[in-house]
Structure 1
Amino acid sequence: MTVYLGIDIASKKFDVAELCDGNYRCKAFANTPVGFMALYKWVSAEAKSDIHVCLEATGDYGTALATFLYERNLKVSVVNPARIKGYGASELSRTKTDKADSKLIARFCKAAVPDGWKPTPPSVKKLQALVRRVSTLNGMLRMECNRRENADVSIQASLDRVINQLKKEIEVVRQELKDHVRSDDNLNKQDELIQSVPGIGAVSSYLILSFISGKGFRKAKEVTAYLGLNPCHHQSGSSVRGKTRMSKMGDARLRSALYMPALTALKHNPDVKAFAQRLLLAGKPRMLVVGAVMRKLVHIIFGVLKSGTAFSSRIAVNSVVIR
Structure 2
Amino acid sequence: MGHRSHLLRSRTAQCGRLAKTDKIDALILAAFAQAIRPQVRTLKDEETQALGALLARRRQLIDMRVQEKLRRDRAAAVQRSSLKEHIAWLDARIDQIDIDLIHRLRTSAIWREKDDLLQAVPGVGKVTRLTLLAELPELGSLDRKQIAALVGLAPFNRDSGQHRGQRVIWGGRAQVRQVLYMAALAATRSNPMIRAFYQRLCAQGKPKKVALTACMRKLLTVMNAVVKNQTPWTASGLDLEHSC
User: What TM-score do the two structures reach when normalised by structure 1?
Assistant: 0.65
Matching residue of 2:241: none
Pairing partner for 1:157 from 57, 72, 81:
81
Question: Whole-Å Cα distance in 2 between the matches of residues 289 and 219 of structure 1?
Answer: 22
For residues 291-306 of structure 1, the aligned pairs below 5 Å read 291-306=213-228
Structure 1's 98 and 237: CA in aligned 2 closer, same or farther, altered over 3 A? same
Amino acid at match of 1:311: W
Match of 2:178 in 1: 256
Of Structure 1 and Structure 2, the greater strand share is in 1
Match of 2:134 among 203, 206, 210: 210
The aligned counterpart of 2:242 is none
Distance in 2, Cα, partners of 1:196 & 1:90: 53
Residue 228 of structure 1 contacts residue 251 of structure 1 at CA under 8 Å; is this kept in 2? yes
Out of 165, 173, 183, the position equivalent to 1:242 is 165
Q: Give the distance between the partners of 1:117 and 1:277, measured in 2 at CA.
A: 37
Alignment of 1:41-80 (within 5 A): none
Residue 112 of structure 2: aligned partner: 188
Contact 1:193 1:308 in 2 (8 A): yes
Which of residues 293, 297, 312 in structure 1 aligns to 2:234? 312
CA contact (8 A) 1:123 1:184 kept: no
* Rounded Cα–Cα distance in structure 2 between residues aligned with 1:169 and 1:288: 37
Distance 1:184 1:202 in 2: 16
Counterpart of 1:221 in structure 2: which amino acid? K
Give the counterpart of 1:88 among 2, 11, 15: 11
Q: Does 1:197 align with 2:141?
A: no
1:83-122 superposed matches below 5 A: 88=11, 91=14, 95=18, 97=20, 99=22, 100-122=24-46
CA contact (8 A) 2:140 2:225 kept: no
Larger Rg computed on CA atoms: 1
Task: Normalising by structure 2, report the TM-score.
Answer: 0.85
Q: Which has the higher contact order (CA 8 A, sep 6+)?
A: 2
In structure 2, distance between residues paired with 1:89 and 1:232: 28
Kindly tell me the number of residue pairs found equivalent between the two proteins.
234
> Which digits, 9 at most, give the CA deviation of each residue in 1:253-274, with x for residues without a partner?
2212111211111122122123
Aligned Cα root-mean-square deviation (Å): 2.7
Tell me the CA shift for residue 198 of structure 1.
0.9
Is the 1:199–1:262 contact (alpha carbons within 8 Å) kept by the matching residues of 2?
yes
Distance 2:15 2:156 in 1: 25
How far, CA to CA, are the matches of 2:12 and 2:157 in structure 1? Answer: 22
User: Whole-Å Cα distance in 2 between the matches of residues 140 and 283 of structure 1?
Assistant: 39
Structure 2 unaligned segments of length 5 or more: list them: 239-244
Which amino acid in the other structure matches residue 295 of structure 1?
R
1:92 Cα offset (Å):
5.6
Q: Per-residue CA shift, 1:286-313, capped at 9, x if unaligned?
A: 1100000001011001000101111113
Distance 1:199 1:89, change over 3 A: farther
